[in-house]
């Protein structure tokens, strides 16, 4: 481990102390080595190493196909409600040491449906995980139910049914992820699912413009009623879209390291985060699938500081943006914003 001194160490200390929220992180993708080790030992027939050294080697990111293989392997370890709760509390444990206070965790109910977990049992596991996360780690957990878009109509139906019939207490949003190129074939089903979720009071937080162009972003805005957009980085290809996002201040949940690891951006130095801010867009900073991309929420702030040269006021503004774009109650938002302001002026 490299120990930094001087200004870099002071920036690291500031980032560590900065109260943060995580608005774009996936349940399966959040599983760190300690959490996966627990699951692998619980299910030793899963083909995942049960020794720590071997698991760390297996987990070390190399390229996108390797990421996909690890993701599938971890997903294969999530077979019972207890496994779901383990993932939730594992994420809270990992984030508690990074100054994170609140998480909106993206959960894909269809994955649990596929292995035969009843809705009620999944919901009870999510509720239990949220309670333990707050009690044991001081991290408040909320949930976004996410349609895996490439699975089409059935995935949309299962996801919205779970959201409306057996929602966890902390469910705040409804989303869609997966392979964006597959979505047009199921457009009407996705629109119907989002309309039902929004009518039930859930916030619309779809992915868009991660692996496709601005047309996907327009669709999540016009067709899905997006209130916040996951990624959205391809918006810069469309001046009219940039103007719309600037005018409406529709938040973009940006995940720089993820975009490099999935091949959407060639190098971290090429990431459009600075330009998004220069264009006056509302941006939050997030980690997506952090252990699988060898990053953390705090590391995303370090990237912003070291690669893009963001100073403390700008880092603090990104943290404020996350709080403001969250679905926390107003009083909790104000308390967190006050904490950030106090740190900046200390």
* Domain tally, the chain: 1
Taking CA atoms, 209 is separated from 148, 237, 254, 259, 297, in Å, by: 15, 10, 11, 11, 21
Output the CA torsion sign for 18, 1, 103, 157: positive
Residue 3 included in any domain? no
pLDDT of 3 reads: 45
pLDDT of 1 reads: 39
Residue 298 included in any domain? yes
Residue 1 included in any domain? no
105 CB-side CA count, 13 A: 33
Cα-Cα end-to-end distance for the chain: 29
| Contact indicator for 173, 203 with CB cutoff of 8 Å | yes
Residue 181 included in any domain? yes
d(CA 88, CA 94): 10
pLDDT of 2 reads: 43
| Contact indicator for 202, 163 with CB cutoff of 8 Å | yes
Active site residue 339: no
Q: State phi, psi for 256 to the nearest 5 degrees.
A: -60, -50
Residue 212 included in any domain? yes
pLDDT of 82 reads: 97
Q: State phi, psi for 141 to the nearest 5 degrees.
A: -110, 130
Residue 308 included in any domain? yes
Look-up: residue for tokens 């104000």? 334
Residue 2 included in any domain? no
CB pairs under 8 A, 24+ apart, for 238-245? 238/213, 238/214, 241/214, 241/217, 242/279, 242/281, 245/281, 245/282
d(CA 127, CA 125): 5
| Contact indicator for 180, 204 with CB cutoff of 8 Å | no
pLDDT of 6 reads: 64
| Contact indicator for 224, 196 with CB cutoff of 8 Å | no
CB contact set of 148 (below 8 Å; sequence gap of 6+):
108, 110, 111, 155, 176, 177, 178
pLDDT tens sequence for the chain (346 residues) = 344 556 788 999 999 999 999 999 999 999 999 999 999 999 999 989 999 999 999 989 888 888 989 999 999 999 999 999 999 999 999 999 999 999 999 999 999 999 999 999 999 999 999 999 999 999 999 999 999 999 999 999 999 999 999 999 999 999 999 999 999 999 999 999 999 999 999 999 999 999 999 999 999 999 999 999 999 999 999 999 999 999 999 999 999 999 999 999 999 999 999 999 999 999 999 999 999 999 999 999 999 999 999 999 999 999 999 999 999 999 999 999 999 999 999 8
**Which of 265, 250, 264 shows the shortest CA–CA distance to 220?**
250
pLDDT of 8 reads: 85
Residue 208 included in any domain? yes
Candidates 80, 140, 210, 227; catalytic one: 210
d(CA 46, CA 324): 41
CATH assignment of the domain containing 258: 3.20.20.140
Q: Kindly report the length of the chain.
A: 346
Q: Which domain holds residue 341?
A: 8-345
pLDDT of 72 reads: 92
């Amino acid at each position: 481990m490299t120990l930094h001194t001087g200004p870099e160490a002071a920036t690291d200390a500031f980032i560590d102390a900065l109260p943060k929220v995580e608005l774009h992180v996936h349940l399966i993708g959040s599983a760190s080595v300690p959490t996966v080790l627990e699951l692998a030992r619980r299910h030793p027939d899963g083909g995942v190493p049960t020794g720590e050294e071997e698991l760390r080697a297996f987990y070390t990111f190399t390229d996108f196909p390797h990421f996909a293989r690890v993701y599938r392997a971890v997903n294969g370890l999530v077979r019972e409600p207890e496994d779901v709760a383990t993932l939730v509390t594992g994420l809270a444990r990992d984030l508690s040491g990074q100054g994170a206070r609140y998480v909106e965790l993206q959960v894909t109910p269809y994955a649990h449906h596929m292995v035969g977990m009843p809705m009620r049992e999944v919901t009870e596991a999510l509720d239990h995980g949220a309670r333990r996360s707050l009690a044991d780690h001081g991290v408040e957990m909320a949930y976004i139910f996410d349609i895996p878009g490439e699975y089409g109509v059935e995935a949309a139906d299962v996801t919205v049914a779970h959201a409306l019939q057996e929602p966890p207490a902390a469910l705040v949003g409804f989303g869609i992820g997966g392979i964006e190129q597959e979505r047009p074939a199921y457009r009407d089903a996705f629109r119907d699912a989002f309309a039902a979720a929004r009518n039930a009071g859930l916030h619309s937080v779809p992915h868009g413009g991660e692996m496709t162009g601005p047309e996907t972003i327009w669709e999540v805005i016009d067709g899905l009623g997006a209130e916040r957009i996951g990624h959205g980085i391809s918006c810069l290809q469309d001046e009219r879209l940039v103007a719309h996002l600037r005018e409406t201040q529709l938040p973009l949940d940006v995940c720089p390291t993820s975009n490099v690891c999935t091949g959407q951006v060639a190098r971290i130095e090429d990431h459009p985060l600075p330009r998004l801010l220069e264009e006056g867009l509302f941006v939050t900073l997030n980690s997506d699938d952090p252990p699988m991309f060898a990053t953390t929420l705090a590391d995303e702030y370090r990237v912003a500081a070291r690669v893009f040269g963001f100073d403390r006021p700008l880092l603090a503004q990104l943290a404020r943006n996350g709080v403001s774009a969250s679905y926390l109650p107003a009083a909790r938002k104000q308390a967190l914003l006050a904490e950030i302001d106090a740190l900046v002026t200390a």
